[in-house]
Amino acid sequence: MPDRGESESRKLLRRLREAMAGESAGQERLDRITTLIAESMGTEVCSIYLFRDRETLELCATEGLKPEAVHQTRLRLGEGLVGRVGRSGRIINTENAPALPGFRYMPETGEEAYTSFLGVPIQRLGETLGVLVVQSREPRGFTADEVYALEVVAMVLAEMAELGAFVGEGAAMTARHQQPVTLRGTIGQEGVAMGHVWLHEPRVVVANPIADDPDREAERLREAVDRLRVGVDRMLDGAAGGDAEQLQVLEAYRMFANSPGWLRRMEESVASGLSAEAAVEKEQSSARARLTQVSDHYLRDRLHDLDDLSNRLLRLLTGQGKETGAQMPADPILIARNIGPAELLDYGRALRGVVLEEGSVGSHAAIVARALAIPLVIHAERITTEALNGDPIAVDGEQGIVHLRPDDSIAAAFRDKIAMQAEAQERYASIRDKPAETLCGTTIGMHMNAGLMADLPSLAGSGAEGVGLFRTELQFLLRNKMPRRSELSALYARIMQAAQGKRVVFRTLDIGSDKVLPYMTAVDEPNPALGWRAIRVGLDKPGVLRMQLQALVRAANGGPLSVMFPFIAQYEEYVAARAEMDKALARERILGHPLPSSLDVGAMLETPSLAFAPRRFFEEVEFLSIGGNDLKQFFFAADRENELVRRRYDTLNVSFLTFIEQIVRRCEETGTPLSFCGEDAGRPVEALCLAAMGIRLLSMRPASIGPVKHLLRRAHLGEVRTVIEGARERGEQSVRAAVMEYLKR
Q: Which does 678 bind (CB under 5 to 8 A by kind): ligand PEP, Mg ion, none?
A: ligand PEP
Angle at 694 between CA 692 and CA 700, to 5 degrees: 85
- The CA distance from 283 to 151, in Å, is 12
| Nearer Cβ to Mg ion (12/626) | 626
571, 614 contact by CB (below 8 A): yes
Find the shortest distance in angstroms from Cβ 342 to ligand PEP: 19
Collapsing DSSP states into helix, strand and coil, what is residue 210?
A: strand
- Nearest approach in angstroms of CB 426 to ligand PEP is 29
CB 84 within 8 A of CB 44: no
d(CA 510, CA 516): 10
CA distance 125 to 696: 54
> Based on CB atoms, which residue is closest to ligand PEP, 426 or 643?
643
Please say which residue, 111 or 679, places its beta carbon nearer to ligand PEP.
679
d(CA 723, CA 386): 49
Stretch that binds ligand PEP, among 89-97, 179-187, 285-293, 622-630 (CB under 6 A): 622-630
For position 471 contacting ligand PEP by CB under 6 A, the verdict is yes
- The CA-atom distances, in angstroms, between 88 and each of 78, 120, 125, 292 are 8, 10, 15, 10
To Mg ion, the closest distance from the beta carbon of 605 in angstroms equals: 10
Residues 6+ apart with CB under 8 A from 540: 532
Shorter beta-carbon distance to ligand PEP: residue 463 or 627: 627
DSSP letters of 507-571? EP---BTTB--TTSPPP--S-GGGSS-THHHHHHSHHHHHHHHHHHHHHHTTS-EEEEETT--SH
Binding mask 450-469 for ligand PEP (x = CB under 6 A): -------------------x
Residue 657's binding partner, choosing from Mg ion, ligand PEP, none, with beta-carbon cut-off 5 to 8 A by kind? none
Q: Does 630 bind ligand PEP (CB under 6 A)?
A: yes
471 binds, among ligand PEP, Mg ion, none (CB under 5 to 8 A by kind): ligand PEP
Q: Between residues 383 and 604, which has the closer beta carbon with respect to ligand PEP?
A: 604
Closest C-alpha among 635, 540, 519 to residue 243: 519
- Closer to ligand PEP by Cβ: residue 281 or 606: 606
Containing H/E element for 198? strand 192-199
Q: Which residues are catalytic?
A: 364, 677
C-alpha angle 366/370/375, rounded to 5°? 90
List the interface residues with ligand PEP, window 483-512 (CB under 6 A).
Answer: 510
What mask of x and - would describe binding to ligand PEP in positions 509 to 538, judged by CB under 6 A?
-x----------------------------
Task: Spell out the alpha helix ranges (H) of 163-296.
Answer: 214-239, 244-257, 260-271, 276-293
Candidate ranges 22-30, 498-506, 626-634, 730-738; the one touching ligand PEP (CB under 6 A): 626-634
677 touching ligand PEP, by CB under 6 A: yes
Q: How far apart are CA 8 and CA 271, in angstroms?
A: 11
Rule CB under 6 A: choose which of 35, 311, 629, 670 binds ligand PEP. 629
Q: Is residue 623 within 8 Å of 600, Cβ to Cβ?
A: yes
Helices (H) and strands (E) in the chain, counts: 27, 23
Q: Which is nearer to ligand PEP, 409 or 527 (CB)?
A: 527
In the complex, least distance from residue 539 CB atom to Mg ion, rounded to whole angstroms: 17
* Ranges assigned E (strand) in 547-635: 561-565, 599-605, 623-626
Residue 673 CB neighbours (<10 A): 15
Q: Is 627 in the site for ligand PEP (CB under 6 A)?
A: yes
Shortest CB 687 distance to ligand PEP, Å: 14
| Rounded distance between C-alpha atoms, residue 727 and residue 186, angstroms | 32
Of the candidates 190, 396, 606, 686, which one interacts with ligand PEP according to CB under 6 A?
606
Per-residue contact track with ligand PEP, 562 to 601, x per CB under 6 A? ----------------------------------------
**What minimum distance in Å lies between the beta carbon of 535 and Mg ion?**
11
Shortest distance, position 467 Cβ to ligand PEP, whole Å? 12
Residues 729 and 29: their CA atoms lie apart, in Å, by 74
Our finding on whether 63 is near ligand PEP (CB under 6 A) is: no
Sites of contact with Mg ion (CB under 5 A): 606, 627, 630
CB of 524 to Mg ion, least distance (A): 22
Q: Which of 463, 628, 682, 702 binds ligand PEP (CB under 6 A)?
A: 628
Instruction: Work out how close the CB of 677 gets to Mg ion at its nearest, in angstroms, rounded to a whole number.
Output: 9
- Chain length of the chain: 745
Closest CA to 69 of 98, 87, 48, 52: 48
The residue range among 111-119, 236-244, 623-631, 686-694 that interacts with ligand PEP, by the rule CB under 6 A, is: 623-631
Nearer to ligand PEP, 511 or 735 (CB): 511
Identity of the residue, 94 or 513, whose beta carbon is nearer to Mg ion in the bound complex: 513
Q: Which is nearer to ligand PEP, 362 or 560 (CB)?
A: 362
Q: Which among 416-424, 453-461, 486-494, 624-632 is the span making contact with ligand PEP, rule CB under 6 A?
A: 624-632
Nearest to 220 by CA among 275, 152, 159, 264: 275
Write down the least CB distance from residue 218 to ligand PEP, Å: 54
Per partner kind, with CB cut-offs from 5 to 8 A, the member of Mg ion, ligand PEP, none near residue 570 is: none
d(CA 55, CA 181) in angstroms, rounded, equals 14
Q: Which positions touch ligand PEP (CB under 6 A)?
A: 469, 471, 510, 606, 627-630, 677-678
